[in-house]
Chain A
């Protein structure tokens, strides 16, 4: 089911309006910028052949999930630390998880867990940038790992190389994160935003320019371009500069059958769709699988747009300053457990795990000591990440936290190391990274490989 803004699946007489164009033009750098300029596709293809990971799926658990209540339980810690949940065994020696993740426990042979993640920033937007770029926001915003892969791989066919699946750029109430996109590589490598509802309805919110358009009229390319050109001449501002590339991208996306099909979850069997769960996150994970299946190099599935877990108009992020135990038990973990398990099963049965890297993590963990509100606060010093697929040795526990889950007792593994490992597995070696001037000083997490 497709919902490109107000794009209609039936013919009608309405054409594109100036107002809708203006709205879209202002959003262009984000909406359309994913790597359309001057890419050496042949070179990218050769490098891709060498890489273990043809694609990457990052499940971005925005808000900071509790490591103790999920993948790093501490059943022997004092009561004010350990939390209320029991622990269950997995198929991996040395790996217990909490009872909130029964499905993932059964699939631990498909993934490895890092329990010694550590970041440098304890606030959401800042830690989000570190988590997605490897560096603090200041003084320079570095590129998202997906933007690096996007630049390296380039675009193949109508689909952009770097997708964000979610409602918007991850943010907290005050502001969005800065490291969401191209950073020093430029807006051209920003992600392409697509939303996916719990019913699998796919939307591209920023394509509201197509309000009233129909397939027949979109196929009338010259007419569309003429309309857009007429409209663009009346506009000023930076957003218009990228329009030429952008409308080609939008046009290609909407008119290329393969591209359109990749968004149509109704072509999946009902049992497959059911397996992922009737949730926005679950169906987004299914959409991510379809996108990598068609060759998209990097897909970031955002758990939520807002970090806040209980706030008016918020969409229930993992920032559980209140209701940590209730929401993890009743909502977040069941959704995550089902969707991630289905993704692993689906990818594995289709052979996609061979050359797709799948990672699940947030920007930090949560305080091991339970707060006065019977919840957990931000904790940058120790958290988890889960790795599966391309080149990753599954069934391992990497790194160790102390008895209370407060600090790693092994070498801390950082977001920069995460990004460097993603790059390396994507065929972006040290030389290529240096040429792009990205991930400087980053080390590969060899224990994963």
Chain B
């Protein structure tokens, strides 16, 4: 038995004779908040993203000491394979449009030089976002209607949020912030962008209108709150925070209220990605020095562990 949305949280698997064997089982109604492992190879992983209706997870992995590639895992079989078999350059910061038509990532094309790629998987065309000089784009996010893709880039000083259309045209700078802005995430209606910024001495989470106005601060503490991701229903934000001394994953309401701790480990839990069902997250967790993908249930209620 494998991991599925219906059977989630009580599936187990083990290695035997070098082969992955899924020893499954389940108990409907008995949902554990304990993270369930999807991979066991332990390689450093990052940026998971669901595709194909939540049946496949794409993620970056340190494949060897000198190559970061995108891999995918089939959540029915837990089989893994490279997302682009022939890729031989670092591919990082992957994102997909909600309808699956577009994928974007940053590709290393030279020393300290990266290009931002938008691939139209239907028309099979590639578009490249141009900025002057060397540097790297970060954290792309597609608008729900595929009107723009928003990303972070530092062109002349503070790192700002920018947008381009699906053909990498009509580039616009959305923010005029001090500090470093990163990790944009759209609400489902496309009207609001959630992101992090460092103007207050460390990463805090903010919201703004999709055009860049009406900014509001959602978190406030002395430690980083990073990688905010809006839930599929637009009501919650998952994010990573060090507020309890360790990298853990939290959720809060879209307005910053009702912060709940999702994971509770002294090792790292990071990179939350909402499953399309809105009830669970894929995360990258470090356990015993190994980095693997896990699924974890989002508490619908529970102890509020910190004020926003």
Contacts and interface: CB of A to CB of B under 8 A. Distances in A.
Interface of A: 75, 79-80, 82-88, 99, 102, 167, 173, 197-198, 270-271, 273-280, 282, 308-316, 321-323, 325-326, 329-331, 334, 338, 371-375
A94 to B, nearest CB: 19
Contacts, number: 120
Given A282-B289, A374-B154, A86 B180 contact: no
A282 B46 CA distance: 19
B134 A373 contact: yes
Contacts of B290: 274, 277-278
Count chain B CB atoms within 10 A of each CB in A88, A323, A338 and give the residue with the most: A323
Contact of A311 (B110, B156, B182, B289): B110
B289 A321 contact: no
B158 A86 contact: no
Nearest to B154: A374
B135 interface: yes
Contacts of A374: 154, 158-159, 180
Contacts of A334: 268, 286
Nearest to A321: B112
27 contacts: A80-B157, A83-B198, A88-B223, A88-B245, A99-B202, A102-B242, A102-B246, A167-B65, A198-B43, A198-B65, A270-B288, A271-B288, A278-B289, A278-B291, A310-B90, A312-B108, A312-B111, A314-B66, A314-B111, A315-B65, A323-B136, A371-B154, A372-B155, A373-B133, A373-B134, A374-B159, A374-B180
B66 A86 contact: no
B86 to A, nearest CB: 15
B135 A85 contact: no
Contact of B65 (A280, A323, A331, A375): A280
B260 interface: no
Given A79-B179, A86-B222, A102-B245, 19 more contacts: A83-B198, A86-B224, A88-B245, A99-B202, A99-B242, A198-B65, A270-B288, A278-B43, A282-B289, A310-B111, A311-B110, A312-B110, A315-B65, A325-B180, A326-B182, A334-B286, A372-B155, A374-B154, A374-B158
B42 interface: yes
Contacts of A88: 223, 245
B280 to A, nearest CB: 23
Interface string B129-158: 000011110100000000000000011111
Contacts of A313: 66-67
A67 to B, nearest CB: 18
B51 interface: no
Contacts of A312: 89-90, 108-111
Contacts of B66: 313-316
B114 interface: yes
A360 B109 CA distance: 32
Contacts of B108: 310-312
B199 A79 contact: yes
Contacts of A278: 42-43, 289-291
B173 interface: no
B178 interface: yes
B89 A372 contact: no
A333 to B, nearest CB: 11
A86 B202 contact: yes
A127 to B, nearest CB: 18
A312 B108 CA distance: 6
Interface of B: 42-44, 46, 65-67, 89-90, 108-112, 114, 133-136, 138, 154-159, 178-180, 182, 198-199, 201-203, 222-224, 226, 242, 245-246, 268, 270, 286, 288-291
Chain B contact residues: over half helix, strand or loop, or mixed? loop
Contacts of A280: 65
A77 to B, nearest CB: 10
Contacts of A102: 242, 245-246
A310 B44 contact: no
Nearest to A277: B289
A57 to B, nearest CB: 19
Given A102-B242, A274-B289, A311 B111 contact: yes
B135 A373 contact: yes
A168 to B, nearest CB: 11
B111 A75 contact: no
B44 A279 contact: yes
Given A198-B43, A279-B44, A321 B245 contact: no
A200 B291 CA distance: 16
A373 B154 contact: yes
A442 to B, nearest CB: 35
Contacts of B179: 79, 84
Contacts of B157: 80, 372
Nearest to B67: A313
A99 B156 CA distance: 27
A322 B202 contact: no
B289 A308 contact: no
A81 to B, nearest CB: 12
Given A85-B202, A282-B289, A310 B136 contact: yes
Listed from nearest, the 4 A-B pairs whose CB atoms lie closest are: A374-B154, A277-B289, A274-B288, A84-B198
Contacts of A314: 66, 111
Given A167-B65, A372-B155, A276 B44 contact: no
A274 B133 CA distance: 41
A99 to B, nearest CB: 5
A197 B289 CA distance: 14
A88 B202 CA distance: 12
A85 B224 contact: yes
A339 to B, nearest CB: 9
A273 B288 CA distance: 9
A276 B288 CA distance: 9
A84 B112 contact: no
Contact of A276 (B46, B156, B289): B289
Contact of A321 (B44, B134, B158, B199): B134
A86 B242 contact: yes
Nearest to A82: B201
